[in-house]
Amino acid sequence: MRGEQLHLTLIQPNIIWEQKTANLQQYEATIATISGPKHVVVLPEMFSTGFSMNPEMLAEPMDGSSVKWMTDIAAKNRCILAGSLIIEEDGKYYNRMLWVQPDGKIGIYDKRHLFAYGNEDKHYTRGDKRLITQVNGWRINLQVCYDLRFPVWARNQGGEYDVLLYVANWPEQRSLAWKTLLQARAIENQCYVAGVNRVGIDGKNNNYTGDSSVFGPLGEKIWQSSNEVACHTVTLQKEPLLKLRADFPVLNDADKFLLL
């Protein structure tokens, strides 16, 4: 149906450094305050710990307590819950974005581009597959933080997705790049883009201003929040997106290539 809506709730928290229980408790309280319809509730990158390079201490298996918490919250609130956690699997550590449905099914996306400047590549294993998932007739491409700097990985070949969703711990000193690249990804891929970040100071003394944002397919700013804890729901409309792609079909002229 051309008139389908997507209700997307973005939670921009002040993550308590490496304190899983306290973080999960604050998210649960925040989610309980959401009124109105909600298809997807989005938490930031490494939402239970902050952007930590201590996976040996903090990682959990897929049947661990944080994933169970996500499945419980998704079922209780009858919504999809998305965000990334530190996951251990087959002796390796992943910065893994989870797409947890209320029926208990879980989609996974392992962060492709590891942030070598912060030594992420020394602690985590990179992913090699994209995940484009679906809800209510919308196709959503899941990405994590540093992936934002690499447009080929997000290229919307043939209009294969409608929303590009980034979760991040993106610090204040590079906030201009965050906001600019989110907007650019929306324009070049003729899609909605949502980026969910955090605020506050982490255990490495990095400051975060949030700047969680939603941009429309023409690059128009739909919502943005800076320097404060936030929980906000945006309702995206399918009709303007389809009309733009039909009237101005730039995706048809894009270069063809394979992602290896």
Catalytic position from the list 111, 179, 191, 238: 111
For the chain, how are helix, strand and coil distributed in percent, rounded to 5?
A: 30, 30, 40
191 tagged catalytic? no
Name the helix (H) or strand (E) containing 196. strand 192-196
Cα–Cα distance measured from residue 136 to residue 149, given in angstroms and rounded to the nearest whole number? 29
Q: What is the sign, positive or negative, of the torsion defined by CA atoms of 47, 49, 55, 58?
A: negative
Name the helix (H) or strand (E) containing 82. strand 80-89
What's the Cα-to-Cα distance from 195 to each of 116, 119, 140, rounded to whole Å? 21, 23, 13
231 tagged catalytic? no
Catalytic position from the list 45, 120, 179, 191: 45
Catalytic position from the list 20, 79, 120, 145: 145
Q: For residue 204, give the 3-state DSSP assignment.
A: coil
Of 178, 186, 163, 187, nearest to 80 (Cα)? 163
145 tagged catalytic? yes
- Whether the Cβ atoms of residue 139 and residue 238 lie closer than 8 Å to each other: no
- Whether the Cβ atoms of residue 197 and residue 210 lie closer than 8 Å to each other: yes
What's the Cα-to-Cα distance from 9 to each of 105, 116, 213, 223, rounded to whole Å? 20, 30, 11, 11
Catalytic positions, please?
45, 111, 145
